[in-house]
Every structure is written in structure tokens, then in C-alpha cells.
């Protein structure tokens, strides 16, 4: 299936979200059984469906269901239907751990669509080494696949441009195209997502002749950043990088403008759409993102998604689509080998080559389990619209 065929989903399918599953997993016997009696292929889906990042979890779930419904309408994979088994894990690490264990031990899923929350996947990665059921999803912290140099978690796969790839693409753009040299950062030191973006951004700046003139941090729950921003203003940076969460980004932006800061504000892939909550203060913000919402190749997906769910897709809906799509392709390859198991799917995720994803053309590296040299859209808010300035090839 290609990107351009996805529009038929909205016209052909009206099924609602499948949030629970009860049939068995594994390869099953296909010899003399009729297609309707073949066991479903179960895919786990532990997502935040009711907490502060629920827009992301719902986006991933929605896109995966679109793909699975399309595959099932075409006869499934060797006559077997794909089925999501979904649990609401909110933003809670322990909830994610419990759900993953249940999916592996009780539901017997063959793979898991991982949540886009790095804190959760960092905790799940070592457990996956024991359970040997692959986690595939749009989490971004590079440590989710490479906990330290030279070490690889065998069962986690990043289906989005990683933190390092995104942050360094933005740093390269700011230094090479905007000619900035002095940078400041304000980020949540307690959030692995924020830290995973801040560190490679600073590393790239320093390695390429730039300066970090201020590095200010805060914790979850903080809402007043004026003290940190005042220190940053005094350092007189060319630009300020804000690699933070949806609840924090609008406050960062608004308070920076309230203090009269003239430096260019730089953001992360949370900014689409949440930066707009800062109103006029968000005008001119430049940020890295996983997708270009105006890419002509993605318009059929956007149309199908909006017709079915009556909302615009968040970026995680695109990366969730790519995550589900590569799982489908790996399952098809596993089926050709004669078995659909966690082991065969894990192996074949690395055999999918140049998949035309919504984010980028996708091949996963066998040494990092990340996309190989993906493009990173650099977007700007202009007249309350998201404009793609360029697509930068990740330096990493």
C-alpha cells in the first residue's frame, strides 16, 4: 500500500475504534480452517487516551485503526485480521509497564505500537529484552534504542526522526541559514523528552563554533518561567531553544514576549499545533517537526483522517501511521517465511526498505533502530499558519 491509496479508507470504511481485544495471537493453524475461523493477529496499543498527551495517543490509535481496517477489508494477511488491543496508560510509567506485560503475557500480542512518551519507553526497553515482543513507535529519545554508545536494545524501534536527528537539524539550520552563533535554552530537566533534545542541540552548537550563553531549566508543574527568562534575556542570545511539552510551550513563548525578549524563539515538534495557544506571541516561531502538514503527498491521508474522525491529525497521527504501516509490512514478510511471531516480526522490521512513509522514506538502521538519514521539516508560524521553510537532512 502506498500513501496515495489511503484516501479510499474514508470512503470504504466506517468502523469505529477498536479499544479492546480478546482473541488469541501467534501464527495459528491455517491449513484447513476457513478464513473466518483463523485467529486474529493481535497488536498491542498502550497509549495515553485520557491525560495531558491524549491527543497524541488518540492520533496514533486512529491512524493504526485506519490502516488495519484497510488491510482487513482486502482480506487481511494470509486470511487473518489485524486487531488492536488498546489500554489507556495515561502518562504513567507504571501503567505502561503493567500494560506491556499484560499484552505480552495474557493477550499474547505479536508486536506493540509503543506510546510516543520517551519516559515510558525508557522503562519498557529492558523489559522488552525479557519478553522479546517488539515495541515500534514515535518515541524520540535516542536512548530508547541505544542506551549507551555501542549498546542496542534489540526490541525497540523509533518510527520518527529521533531527538538527536531533529534537534541537530534545527541547530544546523539556525547556524548555517540564519547565521546565529549565540544560543540559550529553557527546558524541563525532569523530562527525558526535553533533555534528549536539549543535549544534542547544545553539542552541535558547540562542535560547530557556536556558543551556549545561557542554559536554564525547570521541573514538571512549573508555570512561571520569568526568572529563568530574565537571566536568558541578560545573556543576549541570538536565539532561544524551547524543547518542551504542550502545557509548557505556550507559557514559555508568551512569557518571553511579555518580557520584551527579541531573540528568535526556536521550538520542538510539540509546537504543531500547541504553540498557537500563545496567540500572537507565537508569530515568527521556528521549530523542527516530524512532518510538513502542507506536503502534497500527505493531503489524501489528511482528507481521509478528517472525514473519519472529524479533527485534524496531530503529528503523532502521521508517525503513528508510519509505525503501523511498517508493522504491516514486517508481518507480511514474516507470513511469507511461514510464521507470524514476535521473533519473525522483529527480524523483518529491518528488512523493510525505503518504505514511503508520511514523514520520510523509511529504512531502519540495524545498529540504531532509527531511520537512516531522514529529512526533518523546519516550520515557521506565519499569520497563524504553519509554513515549511525547508526540509533539512539530519546531520546525524
Task: Find the angle CA(62)-CA(126)-CA(331) to the nearest 5 degrees.
Answer: 45
Cell of 45: 496499543
Strands 375-382, 286-288: pairing kind: antiparallel
Look up the pTM and report it.
0.81
Question: Under 8 Å CB-to-CB from 155, ≥6 apart: which residues?
Answer: 125, 128, 129, 131, 132, 133, 134, 135, 346
Residue ranges of domains in the chain, CATH in brackets: 3-160+295-364 (3.40.50.2300), 163-289+377-393 (3.40.50.2300)
Element containing residue 201 per DSSP (H, E): helix 192-207
**How do the pLDDT tens digits run along the chain, 396 residues long?**
444 444 433 434 434 333 334 344 444 444 444 556 899 999 999 999 999 889 999 999 999 999 999 999 999 999 999 999 999 999 999 999 999 999 999 999 999 999 999 999 999 999 999 999 999 999 989 999 999 989 999 999 999 999 999 999 999 999 999 999 999 999 999 998 899 999 999 999 999 999 999 999 999 999 999 999 999 999 999 999 999 998 999 999 999 999 999 999 999 998 988 999 999 999 999 999 999 989 999 999 999 999 999 999 998 999 999 999 999 999 999 999 999 999 999 999 999 999 999 998 899 999 999 999 888 999 999 999 999 999 988 776
User: How many angstroms separate the CA atoms of 348 and 337, rounded?
Assistant: 10
User: How many angstroms separate the CA atoms of 6 and 299, rounded?
Assistant: 10
Amino acid at each position: 500500500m502506498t500513501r496515495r491509496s489511503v484516501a479510499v479508507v474514508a470512503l470504504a470504511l466506517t468502523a469505529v475504534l477498536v479499544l479492546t481485544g480478546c482473541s488469541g495471537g501467534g501464527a495459528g493453524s491455517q491449513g484447513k480452517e476457513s478464513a473466518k475461523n483463523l485467529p486474529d493477529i493481535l497488536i498491542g496499543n498502550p497509549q495515553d487516551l485520557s491525560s495531558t498527551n491524549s491527543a497524541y495517543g488518540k492520533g496514533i490509535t486512529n491512524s493504526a485503526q485506519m490502516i488495519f481496517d484497510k488491510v482487513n477489508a482486502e482480506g487481511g494477511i494470509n486470511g487473518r485480521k489485524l486487531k488492536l488491543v488498546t489500554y489507556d496508560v495515561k502518562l504513567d510509567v507504571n501503567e505502561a509497564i503493567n500494560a506491556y506485560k499484560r499484552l505480552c503475557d495474557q493477550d499474547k500480542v505479536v508486536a506493540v505500537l509503543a506510546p510516543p512518551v520517551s519516559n515510558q519507553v525508557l522503562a519498557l526497553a529492558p523489559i522488552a529484552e525479557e519478553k522479546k515482543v517488539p515495541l515500534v513507535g514515535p518515541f524520540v529519545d535516542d536512548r530508547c534504542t541505544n542506551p549507551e554508545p555501542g549498546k542496542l536494545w534489540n526490541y525497540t524501534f523509533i518510527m520518527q526522526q529521533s531527538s538527536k536527528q531533529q534537534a541537530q537539524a534545527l541547530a544546523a539550520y539556525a547556524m548555517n541559514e540564519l547565521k546565529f552563533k549565540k544560543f540559550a535554552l529553557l527546558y524541563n530537566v525532569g523530562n527525558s523528552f526535553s533533555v534528549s533534545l536539549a543535549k544534542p542541540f547544545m553539542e552541535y552548537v558547540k562542535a560547530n563554533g557556536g556558543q551556549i550563553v545561557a542554559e536554564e531549566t525547570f521541573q514538571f508543574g512549573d508555570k512561571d518561567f520569568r526568572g529563568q527568562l530574565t537571566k536568558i534575556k541578560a545573556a543576549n542570545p541570538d536565539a532561544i531553544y524551547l524543547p518542551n511539552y504542550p502545557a509548557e510551550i505556550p507559557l514559555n513563548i508568551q512569557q518571553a514576549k511579555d518580557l520584551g525578549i527579541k531573540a528568535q524563539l526556536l521550538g520542538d515538534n510539540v509546537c504543531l499545533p500547541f504553540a498557537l495557544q500563545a496567540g500572537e506571541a507565537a508569530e515568527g516561531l521556528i521549530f523542527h517537526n516530524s512532518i510538513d502538514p502542507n506536503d502534497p503527498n500527505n493531503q489524501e491521508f489528511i482528507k481521509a483522517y478528517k472525514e473519519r474522525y472529524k479533527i485534524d491529525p496531530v503529528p503523532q497521527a502521521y508517525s503513528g501511521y508510519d509505525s503501523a504501516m511498517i508493522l504491516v509490512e514486517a508481518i507480511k514478510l514474516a507470513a511469507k517465511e511461514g510464521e507470524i511471531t514476535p521473533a519473525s516480526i522483529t527480524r523483518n522490521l529491518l528488512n523493510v526498505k525505503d518504505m514511503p512513509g508520511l514523514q520520510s522514506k523509511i529504512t531502519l538502521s540495524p545498529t540504531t533502530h532509527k531511520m537512516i538519514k531522514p529529512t526533518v521539516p523546519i516550520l515557521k508560524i506565519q499569520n497563524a499558519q504553519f509554513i515549511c521553510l525547508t526540509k533539512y537532512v539530519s546531520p546525524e
